[in-house]
Each structure stands twice: as structure tokens, then as C-alpha cells.
Amino acid sequence: MIQQRKILSVSLVALFLVLPIAGCLDKQTEDKISANDVKISPEVMIAGKFQPLVITAKKDISVFIPNLVIDPISNYVQNGTVLDMKTGETKQLISLAPPRINSAFVFLAEYGNLNWPIRSPSESWESWVDRGGFNDKEWAVTRVDPDEGASLDTLNRTSENSADVVPIRISV
């Protein structure tokens, strides 16, 4: 009888110790970023034309738009931006789908991410993504808070390592 109680006690203690660990492991797979974490429209952009780009977040996430965008406050055109988005949030930007190409891209990373991989100026986004260049982390930009009179973060080159990102292809 005493032996059975000892076994039961040890089993209960082991169970209570294992449950929190199991929860941690499960959360790691849940937090992995995927292309399904956002909805982007339109699914096809018109090349060479400024047009609305609407992004809806399905989880807390940061989105890097490496194309020309118009700042809605200053009305200035800038070369890319980063948006931090909370679950369920929708943001619209006016973005230029580059001319003479088949695809534009946005990139996803953990919410609040500062550093992003970028391509070399001598390489297209398409070939860079196709060869997995975003994993090389050779070139990177960091986000910079907007100046007074503007609303979008700007980007500067950095020598710091960039984050892991997930590319999303938008047909053009």
C-alpha cells in the first residue's frame, strides 16, 4: 500500500513537471511564421503603376515592403518600409509594382523586427528569392523611425545581421 502511494506521488510530480515543458514545445511550432499569417490584396498588381496594397495580419507580425511606397502623411515617395501589425489589423499603402517584372515581394518576420535582408542592387528580387538569397544575410537594412511630418519607417543599410524572413510573392 505504501509502495503504491509512493509510485502515485512520483507519477503525479513527474506529470506536473512535464506539462509545462510540453506547452513550451507546442508554442514553438505555433509561433513559426508562414505566408498564411497575412492576407495580401490585390493578388495581382499592375506593373509600373502606384496602387493600393492591402495587408491583413492573422497574427502579430512585421511586414517589409521593399517597393516604392507613398507616405500617407507627407505624400513623399520612399523606397520601402516596414509595418508592425497586430492580429486582425489591416493596413493599406499605395505601392508601386515595379515595371517589366513578373513578381513583387513582401517579407514577413517576427513582430517588432528591426533588421531585414535585402538583395544586391545588381540582382532582381525574383532571382534573389528563387536562389534563397534571404538566407545568406549578406546585405541588410534596418528600420528608422519616421521623420517629423511622415508616418512610415524608412530604411538604412546596416552591417548587423538580419532576421529570418518568409518571402511572399505577389504576381505582377
Each residue's pLDDT expressed in tens, for the chain with a length of 172 residues: 666 666 656 665 555 655 555 555 555 555 799 999 999 999 999 999 999 999 999 999 999 999 999 999 999 999 999 999 999 999 999 999 988 889 999 999 999 999 999 999 999 999 999 999 999 878 999 999 998 889 999 999 999 989 999 999 999 9
Residue 79, classed as helix, strand or coil, is strand
Supply the DSSP string of 10-64, one letter for each residue: HHHHHHHHHHHHHHHHHHHHHT---GGGEEEE-SBPPTT-EEEEEEEESSSEEEE
Note the pLDDT of residue 108: 98
Spatial separation of the C-alpha atoms in residues 94 and 124, rounded to whole Å: 22
Spatial separation of the C-alpha atoms in residues 98 and 125, rounded to whole Å: 10
Question: What pTM was computed for the model?
Answer: 0.79
End-to-end CA distance of the chain: 74
CB 85 within 8 A of CB 61: yes
